[in-house]
């Protein structure tokens, strides 16, 4: 009887633990505190820290780069997203794109060229240390993490449901929910894109 009780308790604890773990993101889970960052250089010539966005109710982090064709394919969608949520008067949403690639094409000079060429209307920072990408649990570009007002993770994964002809904006839905103090219906999806080359520690 004691053995069966212990076995049952162990099984339940394992079930509870696995239910909370991220299905695709192996670093973050829904409800976790989002990672912070300090003094990252950006394509607009400024440096940014998480504290600079204290007045925002929602922060969308997008791990991306210049060289990945999938990431490049999402640039226009990110620009449109920013027009809807970020650049409006009294916006309470920030979109922060971060490159963690140290390839020449993905560093600040080329980021500046790309931002100017495309007219990026969101912040595009570079993290040479790759710490932020690791802390976000990003494995591909582009990959998105949405944080609510309490800077808790409410969504992890892809921006939308289809790379060519999307019908559902997972990030948009997550932002809409977070702005209302609610949780999105879809909390995690598998991100699609180019693998990130992290340096070995």
Would you state the torsion angle of the CA atoms of residues 42, 86, 29, 27, taken in this order, to the nearest 10 degrees?
Answer: -10
Q: What is the pLDDT of residues 114-127, one digit of tens each?
A: 999 999 999 999 99
What are the chain's domains? Answer: 25-195 (3.40.30.10)
Contact 23, 32 (CB under 8 A): no
Contact 192, 163 (CB under 8 A): yes
pTM of the full predicted structure? Answer: 0.88
| 25 pLDDT higher than 90 | yes
Contact 153, 59 (CB under 8 A): no
H or E, element range at 16: helix 2-20
H or E, element range at 126: strand 123-126
């Amino acid at each position: 009887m004691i053995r069966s009780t212990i076995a049952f308790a162990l099984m339940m604890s394992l079930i509870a633990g696995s239910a909370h773990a991220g299905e695709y993101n192996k670093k973050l889970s829904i409800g976790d505190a989002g990672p912070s960052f300090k003094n990252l250089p950006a394509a607009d010539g400024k440096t940014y820290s998480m504290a600079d966005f204290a007045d925002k109710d929602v922060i969308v982090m997008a791990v991306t780069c210049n060289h990945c064709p999938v990431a490049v394919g999402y640039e226009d969608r990110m620009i449109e997203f920013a027009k809807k949520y970020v650049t409006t008067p009294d916006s309470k949403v920030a979109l922060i794109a971060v490159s963690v690639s140290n390839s020449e094409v993905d560093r600040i000079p080329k980021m500046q060229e790309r931002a100017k060429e495309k007219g990026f209307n969101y912040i595009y920072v570079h993290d040479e240390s790759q710490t932020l990408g690791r802390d976000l649990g990003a494995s591909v570009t582009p990959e998105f993490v949405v944080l609510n007002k309490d800077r808790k993770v409410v969504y992890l994964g892809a921006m939308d449901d289809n790379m060519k002809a999307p019908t559902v904006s997972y990030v948009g839905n997550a932002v809409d929910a977070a702005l209302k103090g609610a949780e999105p219906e879809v909390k995690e999806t598998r991100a699609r894109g180019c693998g990130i080359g992290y340096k070995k520690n």
